[in-house]
Amino acid sequence: MRNTLNQHGIDNFYVKHDARSKTGFSCQYRDPRFGNKLFTNIKQFRSLGSDINLAKNIAMQLNASIIPLIADEKVKSILNTKKSNKNIKLSSWLSQYTAIQEEKLKSGALKPNTWKVRRGLINRINKAHGKYKLETINTKLVKAFLDTYIKEGKVRSAQAVRSVYIDIFTEAAQAGEVESMFNPAKTTKKPVAKVTKSRLSLSQFEQISAQFDYEPFKLASLLALVTAQRRTDLCLLRKFKGSDWEERLNKYKENPNHFIDTSDAGDSFQKLVKFAPYSYIENDYLYVFQLKTGKLLKIPLALKLNVIDQSIHDVIKLTHHNIKSDFVLHHTACRSKAKIGDAVSPILLTRHFKNARDKTGIKWTCTPASFHEIRSLSERLYREQGIDTRLLCGHSEQKMTDAYNDLRGSDWQIVKI
């Protein structure tokens, strides 16, 4: 650990007490070329005298001269990036940027939902600034654009736009379209968002549940409460493990987006039904595959939420309607494009939860609670019950669980009652 004399922020520069010197200090420079096979006869340390201020200036000059000499080829290529002669417009670069993102999507490096949001933000940025040349876009211009969202109270949107804008210039620098250090969006302050979404209480949940006019949606909400799982994972939940499950999991591990079409960014729930690994029931356990994280959880069906006196097994039993279906949550009547026995889609769950919520007349202090807030409510109720909610929710870190054993799909984590 450095002593207080060395808390100066200058690399390779060291100061120590020395009673023999005129000032009581001695300064040294550690030559970063020492030990590098490209350089020979280099001393590790060189004296810079006892005048600290003078030594600091010398050390900074040495760093500026020596560090570029030992930089690897990738660093050198970035340092030597020249301005593009094309003087490309933002709109033209965004076409190339979009192609880069679509390649990331195909390779599995980008989540479909992330791309869905990012694609919309790219369109907004293009509409606002597409006519400008890349090198003429400045921090003031970007800030003014972010302020239009902040004034409307859309701070989260402002954060997302800023993040995408930063990445746009990062990719442009790598492509040589702008200087390597040119990123006007990065210079803007990150907008700070206050938590505005209301927490859901058990009483409010029960009021909303009573307003559902279609039993599969009501049971989906109840299943979310007793399992603490995400809506998509519950909608994909099957009664049995099929012979195709291992193959689906292996393909997911190779590339989670292997079935994604960049034209729709995998927004179709039917594609998930057809290709994605799914949760299933077997031997008195609920085997949960978390599509968002790739985690595998093994939850006993006997797990009971004491405050409502119902277990996972009790709720799943309620979903049996003597209808032939592979899915635990399935339609019991033809609705729009859905047939009897089809899986209930996450989008419908969200929509009908909102409709039921609005019927209650509950006065929310902040933004009304969404279907996802059931997961938070479940976590809080199970935590009071003494259940390991970090494991139940599939969080990698305890701080994630507090705000509302990371194996990443290599083995099942068992939730203990």
Active site residues: 230, 292, 372, 375, 395, 404
Name the phi and psi angles at 48, rounded to 5: -115, 15
- Residue 197 contacts residue 366 (beta carbons within 8 Å): yes
Tell me how far apart the alpha carbons of residues 380 and 196 are, in angstroms, rounded to a whole number. Answer: 19
Question: Counting Cβ atoms within 10 Å, is residue 357 exposed (0-12), middle (13-18) or buried (19+)?
Answer: buried
Pairing of strands 280-282, 285-289: antiparallel
Helix (H, G, I), strand (E, B) or coil at 169: helix
Residue 157 Cα distances to 101, 113, 188, angstroms? 20, 15, 15
Q: Which runs of E-coded beta strand occur in 253-327?
A: 280-282, 285-289, 296-300, 304-305, 310-311
Two structure tokens written together for 324 = 């032939």
Q: Cβ(137)–Cβ(187) under 8 Å?
A: no
**Joined tokens for residue 299:** 């939850």
Closest CA to 301 of 402, 248, 358, 226: 226
List alpha helices for 269-342, DSSP H: 269-275, 312-318
Closest CA to 170 of 185, 156, 159: 185
CA dihedral 289, 291, 295, 301 (to 10 degrees): -30
CA distances from 360 to 303, 357, 371 (A): 30, 6, 15
288 exposed, middle or buried (CB, 10 Å; 0-12, 13-18, 19+)?
buried
| Enclosing H/E stretch for 47 | strand 45-49
Q: Which of 330, 342, 233 is nearest to 291 (CA)?
A: 233
- The DSSP symbol for 386 reads T
Place of tokens 């004399």: 5
